């Protein structure tokens, strides 16, 4: 699990992108103005969609994180079985899940990190 600061759903995309880049994070939990977890956003989400021909669409500079985030995030607890979490992530094609302890988010778990922990030799 990686500790991750949240970004706000109403935050402009360029601001959120700069925050993730400055922290070296690939993903961040997204909170609403009251601090409630409402989504997860990746640096790829913030960069804009890539078309099949490889062209990347430019996002509206006024757009906010809520427009590109994954809504209804999956939240796991710190004590959950890691193998079961990896299976869930693979089944639902989730690159990351939020890790919550009660009502607060304590971090983010990336599928790549979790899979390595479950099977360090990559079988």
- Residue 88 pLDDT more than 80? yes
pLDDT (mean) for 56-75: 85
> Could you read off the pLDDT of 97-113 as tens digits, one per residue?
989 887 678 888 988 88
Q: How confident is the model at residue 69 (pLDDT cuts 50, 70, 90)?
A: very high
Contacts with 27 (C-beta within 8 Å, 6 or more apart), sequence order:
4, 20, 40, 41, 42, 43, 95, 96, 108, 110
């Amino acid at each position: 699990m990686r500790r991750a600061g949240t970004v706000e759903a109403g935050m402009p995309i360029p601001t959120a992108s700069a925050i993730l880049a400055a922290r070296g994070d690939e993903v961040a939990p997204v909170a609403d103005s009251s601090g409630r977890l409402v989504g997860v956003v990746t640096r790829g989400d913030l960069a804009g969609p890539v078309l099949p021909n490889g062209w990347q669409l430019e996002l509206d500079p006024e757009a906010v994180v809520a427009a590109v985030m994954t809504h209804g995030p999956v939240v796991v607890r710190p004590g959950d079985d890691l193998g079961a979490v990896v299976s869930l992530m693979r089944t639902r094609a989730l690159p990351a899940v939020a890790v919550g302890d009660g009502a607060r988010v304590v971090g983010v778990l990336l599928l790549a990190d979790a899979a390595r922990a479950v099977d360090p030799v990559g079988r």
